[in-house]
Structure 1
């Protein structure tokens, strides 16, 4: 059997879910023996590859760039996991939703006492009106809540996928692996 091709992606979130994944410590070596990390903020790959078996995505969708990346990743991935509360519900990024992006930016950057009030625009993506969870844009196969999810939970989920014991989830449904 070939190794599982795993990718992780970070959208609008704090990186806590990736830190929790790293907190699996030496158990990462167990997983690494059975999977290749083909894309992640943890590796130096610039383009999302074709035919990824499992992708774990952290963060909400807050920009057109987030949405485009999410749709591309969904097309190229077999099993998509919403990793953490931002990906599952919108969580902290969605706290701005009652105000909307423009009102939030005004409140933070213009109406708060600052030395040079201005809304940053250079080299930053334009925010959608609302931050939304992944399932509002693409089908999600597994939701792992938590802010962040516990390292034990992430390890157990990945280990169950590798072992083929995750209830109702099969890695061979998309690419015929």
Structure 2
């Protein structure tokens, strides 16, 4: 009788989107049919693919896109970090604040005034104050300013091959080796 084939333990992977455009998640899905192969070596936890809203107690790899624009982003990030062995800052928004950080050149008050009071076509000018709206941070921040980051996938967005290499390397127990074309900004 043949001995059962041993498979390496599956990584549990979770994803999270903060202040960004969701483009990194879309690029991740660009692994196309390799998603079937990926599903053989990882288990997806919290992610839009599973519609799970919170991480289970232990996650191996947490992929985070987006920067920190409001206090809710900070809370979500801290909760996510608490459950993940490795955190990966995915894309320029998570790494540097990205496009949302363009507002850092201006005061928060002037940004709100421009959007809600002075913009053309505003009929009832007022800056919204509602407990349901998360309090904005004065500046957009990259995630490494709040939690420890173990890996980065640069790009806007990173290419699908970068996600593939990162997850394959972690499954194989080696350090990811991103080729130049998988670590540049376009």
Q: Same fold (TM over 0.5)?
A: yes
1:66-97 Cα offsets, whole Å, 9 max, x none, are: 11111111111100000000000001111111
- Distance, in Å, in 1 between the alignment partners of 2:47 and 2:62 is 9
Are the aligned partners of 1:13 and 1:58 in contact in 2 as well (CA < 8 Å)? yes
Are the aligned partners of 1:4 and 1:35 in contact in 2 as well (CA < 8 Å)? yes
- Identify the match of residue 154 of structure 1 among 141, 160, 163: 163
Are the aligned partners of 2:166 and 2:176 in contact in 1 as well (CA < 8 Å)? no
* Larger-gyration structure (1/2): 2
- Where structure 2 has 5 or more consecutive residues not aligned to the other structure, the ranges are 1-7, 178-186
Are the aligned partners of 1:10 and 1:41 in contact in 2 as well (CA < 8 Å)? no
SS, match of residue 39 in structure 1? coil
- Identify the match of residue 90 of structure 1 among 88, 91, 97: 97
User: Which one scores higher on RCO, CA 8 angstroms, separation ≥ 6?
Assistant: 1
- Distance, in Å, in 1 between the alignment partners of 2:115 and 2:70 is 18
CA displacement at 1:165 relative to structure 2: 2.2
Are the aligned partners of 1:60 and 1:134 in contact in 2 as well (CA < 8 Å)? yes
- Distance, in Å, in 1 between the alignment partners of 2:175 and 2:136 is 36
- Distance, in Å, in 2 between the alignment partners of 1:54 and 1:47 is 14
Q: Which residue of 1 aligns with 2:141?
A: 132
Are the aligned partners of 2:19 and 2:67 in contact in 1 as well (CA < 8 Å)? yes
- Distance, in Å, in 2 between the alignment partners of 1:33 and 1:109 is 49
CA displacement at 1:121 relative to structure 2: 4.1
Q: How does the TM-score come out when normalised to structure 2? A: 0.84
Q: How many residues align?
A: 168
- Distance, in Å, in 2 between the alignment partners of 1:112 and 1:139 is 39
- Where structure 1 has 5 or more consecutive residues not aligned to the other structure, the ranges are 169-177
Are the aligned partners of 2:10 and 2:171 in contact in 1 as well (CA < 8 Å)? no
CA displacement at 1:39 relative to structure 2: 0.4
- Distance, in Å, in 1 between the alignment partners of 2:33 and 2:103 is 38
- Cα RMSD after superposing both structures: 1.6
Q: Which residue of 1 aligns with 2:126?
A: 118
